[in-house]
Amino acid sequence: MKSKNDNQEQKLVTGAEALILSLMKEGVETIFGYPGGAIMPVYDALYDHCDSIHHILTRHEQGATHAAQGFARVSGKVGVSLVTSGPAATNAMTGIADALLDSTPLVVITGQVGTSLLGTDAFQEIDVVGITQPITKWSYQIRYAKDIPWAVARAFYIAKSGRPGPVVLDFAKSAQTEMVEFDYKPCSFIRSYIPYPKIKETQIEEAAKLINSAKKPLALVGQGVILGGAEQELKEFLEKADIPAASTLLGLSAMPTDFRLNKGFLGMHGNVAPNMKTNECDVLIAIGMRFDDRVTGDLNTYAKQAKIIHLDIDKSEIGKNVPVDAPVVGSVKESLPALTAKVNPGKHTEWIESFAEYDKKEYDAVIEKEVYRFEGEITMGEIVHKVSEAINHEAVVVTDVGQNQMMAARYSQYTKTRSLVTSGGLGTMGFGLPAAMGAKVGAPDRTVCMFAGDGGFQMTIQELGTIMQEKLGVKMIVMDNRFLGMVRQWQELFFDERYSFTHMDNPDFVAIAKAYNINGKLVTKREELDDAIADMLKDDKPYLLVVEVEQKGMVYPMIPAGTCVTNIIMNNGN
C-alpha cells in the first residue's frame, strides 16, 4: 500500500510538466509552435504527451500565431501557440496584435531566460511583458513553478471570457526546470474584472422605445454576434421587428447570405445599399460592432439623422467613435432576447424594398462586369464566385489582405456561421496561409478555401512546409496580378497613377508547391477555370490553384478613406 508521502511524490513535477498538465486541464488538444533554447524543457515535457496534445510545427512563429487565430475563429476555442524567447517572441507579435484588434482568444506562451539572467541583456532576452502589454488582454511573466497552474487558469479565463482576446505567458526557463507539486484549479472569477456586465432593464426599454417608433430602422451586425453565439437570437430579433441588416467584414457569416433581411456588406468596399441607407435610416442599431473607420468613413457626416442604439459587451466601445442615444451594455446573447421581448412586431415593407434600387445600380455598374465577364482577362470576382458556387457556399473562406480580401468577402456566400476568417483590424498581409492551416485543424470536416494575392502569399509561403508535413487539405487560390493590388489601386486613384514599387516579378508558384509535394495548377485562360476548380475540390488533399488575373483590376464600389459613406465610387468614371 502506498503512503501519503508516496501520493504527494507522484504529484511532484517540473514546471515544464506542470504547464503541459495545466493545458490538458483546460482541454487543449492542439498547439501551434516552434521550439528553441529557452522553451526546450517544455518541449521535452510535451514529448511524453503527444497522445493528448497534437503539436503542429509551423515554419515561422508568426505563422504559429496566425494558425492559432484561424483555429480559434472557426472552432470557438482558445488558440494556443508556443515559441521560444527573443526573436521568436518578437516574431509572434504581429499575430498577437492582430488577435487583439479582431477579438480572437489566444494564449501565447513564450520562453524566457532564467530569473537570474533577467535584466542582464542575456542571449535572446527581450522584455516580452513590456512589449505585449499594449497588445494583449493580459501579459504575465512566470518566474516560479508554483505560479504555473494559477497563471494558466487565469490566462484561459481572460482570453475566452467577455470580449475575447490574446493573453501572453512569458515563461522563465528556471521556472520550467523547478519542481512543483501540481494542483490545478480552473479560474472563474477575477476581482475587478467583469467580463459579462449585468444588463440594465432601463437600457433595454429605452432601446425598444426607439425601435418601436422607427419608420426606417437599420441594424449593423458585427463579429460580436458570432463571438457571443447569438446568431439565432439575432435572426429572431430582426424577424420580429422586420428590420433590414448589414454586416461588417468580420460579421459577414453571422447571417446566411440569402436571409431575407440580410442587405449585405458594410464599409469601404461594401455594398452600395447598406452604406447609402446608413445616412437615410432614422434608427441605427449597432450589434456587437465597434464603428471602425472603414465602416463609418467621416464621423462628422456619419448617420447624423439617426438615433443610435449600440449593443456591446465592451462598455469602452460605446460612444468611443459615434455618440450613442441608447447604450445597451452586455453580451448580445442576453441583450438581444431581452430586446426582442420588448419590441413590437414590425412591418417595414416599403423601407426594405427601397434597398433594391441601390442593389440594381451596383449590379449594373459593378457586379455584372466583375462576376459575369465573358471576355478579356479573368477577374478576381468571377474566381471567388465560381469557387463559392462549386462548394455550394459551405466553405470556410480564409483570406489574405488586399484586393483578394475584399473580393473574397464580397463574392463569397455564406450558409453557416464562422465561415469567414480574415484580418480585419490590423490588415495583416501574410495572414491567409497560416490562418487557413489553423482553420482546417479547427474545422477538419469543412472545406477550407484560402484566397490570397501574389504579394501576401509570398510573405508566409514557407508554411507550405507545415501543410505538407501535416497533410492539411487546404485549398489555396492565389489570384496573381503581378502587383501589390490594393496599393496599386490607391496609386491609380489618388497618386496620379505613379505606381511606385508595387509591380512584382513572381516565381513559378506551382513549381514551388510541387517541391512541397502539393499538387497545383496554373490557369491563364477563362475556359480552363471551371475544370481547374473542380480538380482542386475533388479530394481532401492540399491544392494550389494559381490564376492569372487582370493586372489593373479594381475593387469597386469604393468609399475613399475619410469621406462620407455616401461618397461611393462605382467605377473608373464615377
CB atoms within 10 A of CB 493: 14
Instruction: Mark whether 342 is an active-site residue.
Output: no
Task: Note the helical H segments in 133-186.
Answer: 148-160, 173-177
Answer yes or no: 173 catalytic.
yes
Q: Measured between alpha carbons, how far is 337 from 80 in angstroms, rounded to an integer?
A: 33
Q: From CA 416, how far away is CA 237, in angstroms rounded?
A: 19
Strands 179-181 and 12-14: antiparallel
List the catalytic residue out of 137, 160, 173, 307: 173
Helical spans, DSSP H, in 366-505: 368-371, 380-390, 403-411, 432-442, 454-459, 464-470, 485-494
Active site residue 124: yes
Residue 422 · residue 249 · CB < 8 Å: yes
Q: What residue has cell string 418601436?
A: 212
Instruction: Point out the catalytic residue in the list 26, 61, 125, 362.
Output: 61
From the candidates 406, 429, 486, 558, which is the catalytic residue?
486
- How many C-beta neighbours within 10 Å does residue 155 have? 29
Indicate if the alpha-carbon torsion angle 253, 259, 261, 264 is positive or negative.
Answer: positive
Which residue among the candidates 8, 11, 123, 394 is catalytic per the annotation?
123
Would you call 361 a catalytic residue per the annotation? no
Answer whether 70's CB lies under 8 Å from 421's CB. yes
Q: Contact, 309 vs 210, CB < 8 A? A: yes
The burial class, CB within 10 Å (0-12 / 13-18 / 19+), for 192 is exposed
402: left (phi over 0), alpha (psi -120 to 50) or beta: left
Q: Is 476 a catalytic residue?
A: no
Comparing CA positions, the residue from 337, 285, 314, 107 lying closest to residue 227 is: 314
Catalytic residue among 24, 25, 124, 280: 124
Q: So which residues are the catalytic ones?
A: 61, 123-124, 173, 486
